[in-house]
Amino acid sequence: MNERVLILEDLDHIKKLLCSYLEQDHYTVFSAGDGREGLKIFNEVRPNLVITDVVMPYMDGFSVCRAIKSDEQTRLTPVVLLTSLDDNESYIKGMESGADDFLVKPVNKFLFLARVKALLKVKRLNDRLDNSWSLLFSLAKAVEAKDKYTENHTNRVGEISKQFGLLMGLSPEMCDSLFKAGILHDIGKIGIPDSILNKTDKLTAEERNRIQQHTIIGRDICKPLNSMKDILEVVYCHHEKWDGTGYPNGLKGNDIPLMAQIVSIVDVYDAVTSDRPYRQAFPKEEVREILQEESGKSFNPELINFFIKKILDGISDYKRAN
């Protein structure tokens, strides 16, 4: 095995014992005696798994765990907290820090190795998922690059959707999904000819039908992410309308998934506040009129009113600042 495990433990006899268990199972092992040194080694070698004692000099295990989990680049690295404190308060604090598992001293060798094996398997699966995201994000950017006037459109939709979700009080996980869904929402346009996407004249009925297929194409492209049901629903449903006149399925009202409703609003907002080859961005008051006119038609009235209050009026320069 070439999987790397980092052990952080200030008691030498325990550190040596755990390292010997892992080395016998052919893992590459790194170790440190305190959290500060441990984080330095972590950043140098980027291990696949971290096992850290809770009580250590300079920096405790909870702080180490928070540092790893707060970094977007390392948050999927499993962290196991090793403690002699078998109490609810420690477990709660560990969970709040983002810990993936707990082991209580003295450690049983076979349970220890079984936990290590299971967590490394999860890490491998997460790495594959991350690779899938990278591929899909690159594809979404390739779609955007077809038209210089939509440059950074998907990133703005993702950022503003996430910000809107936070203002609504949605969970951090949902807000993260909103960001990803915003970036991927138009990925299906990769399957639509440029002659249709970039046409400035009125579309024919056949061309309109063709462009509407991008929601179905996008859903099919994103099927490797079938564990991310909410994101797939946004890609598929972001052109559904509150009054049931949208596509692809004519969903009505709250039959439309909430995240798709949010991205739909932000998608239109970004379109009307961005320059196009045939017009300039609309001024704020016209944007307000456009959004209000679609209340009860394209958009959930409560949701669009909240959006106007919090985004258009509250942080109207958010899009351009990012």
Evaluate if residue 226 carries a pLDDT over 60: no
36-55, pLDDT tens digit by residue?
999 999 999 999 999 999 88
Total residue length of the chain: 322
The stretch 30-41 carries a mean pLDDT of: 92
Phi (first) and psi of residue 316, to 5 degrees:
-65, -20
Question: Taking the mean position of all CA atoms in its chain, how far away is CA 194?
Answer: 29
Query: Confidence band (pLDDT; 50, 70, 90) for 203?
Result: confident
Domain span including residue 198:
145-321
Whether residue 116 sits in one domain with residue 161:
no
299-316, pLDDT tens digit by residue?
999 999 999 999 988 854
Q: Give the domain-ending residue among 126, 160, 183.
A: 126
For the chain, give the mean pLDDT: 86
Q: What pTM does this model have?
A: 0.63
pLDDT of residue 316: 46
In a domain, 184, yes or no: yes
pLDDT of residue 84: 77
The stretch 276-286 carries a mean pLDDT of: 81
In a domain, 138, yes or no: no
pLDDT of residue 105: 86
Q: Encoding tokens for residue 171?
A: 């969970």
In a domain, 131, yes or no: no
In a domain, 239, yes or no: yes
Whether residue 197 sits in one domain with residue 102:
no
Q: Angle at Cα 251 formed by Cα 287 and Cα 228, nearest 5°?
A: 90
pLDDT of residue 225: 65
Residue 40 annotated in active site: no
In a domain, 136, yes or no: no
Q: Distances from the Cα of 28 to the Cαs of 3, 33, 35, 44, 77, in angstroms? A: 6, 17, 19, 14, 16
Evaluate if residue 204 carries a pLDDT over 80: yes
Residue 56's CATH number: 3.40.50.2300
Evaluate if residue 274 carries a pLDDT over 60: yes
Whether residue 311 sits in one domain with residue 191:
yes
Residue 244 is given by DSSP the state S
Active-site residue (options: 162, 189, 241, 319):
189
Count structural domains, the chain.
Answer: 2
Whether residue 165 sits in one domain with residue 95:
no
Least confident of 57-66, 120-129, 269-278: 120-129
Query: Confidence band (pLDDT; 50, 70, 90) for 87?
Result: low
121-177, pLDDT tens digit by residue?
888 877 766 666 776 777 777 777 666 556 688 889 999 999 999 999 999 889 989
Whether residue 163 sits in one domain with residue 297:
yes
Whether residue 271 sits in one domain with residue 149:
yes
Q: Give the domain-ending residue among 126, 161, 180.
A: 126
Q: Is 244 left (phi over 0), alpha (psi -120 to 50) or beta?
A: left
In a domain, 134, yes or no: no
Residue 98 is given by DSSP the state T
pLDDT of residue 192: 86
User: What CA–CA distance (Å, rounded) separates 53 from 133?
Assistant: 33
Whether residue 68 sits in one domain with residue 165:
no
In a domain, 135, yes or no: no
Least confident of 80-89, 166-175, 236-245, 287-296: 80-89
Whether residue 202 sits in one domain with residue 151:
yes
- Bridge partners, 81 (sequence order): 52, 102
Q: Give the domain-ending residue among 67, 93, 126.
A: 126
Evaluate if residue 220 carries a pLDDT over 80: yes
3-state secondary structure of 58: coil
Whether residue 279 sits in one domain with residue 157:
yes
Q: Encoding tokens for residue 65?
A: 């765990």
In a domain, 304, yes or no: yes
Whether residue 267 sits in one domain with residue 236:
yes
Q: Angle at Cα 96 formed by Cα 95 and Cα 102, nearest 5°?
A: 20
Q: Is 296 left (phi over 0), alpha (psi -120 to 50) or beta?
A: left
Whether residue 268 sits in one domain with residue 161:
yes
Evaluate if residue 317 carries a pLDDT over 60: no
Residue 270's CATH number: 1.10.3210.10
* Mean pLDDT comparison of 31-35, 143-147, 200-204, highest-scoring range: 31-35
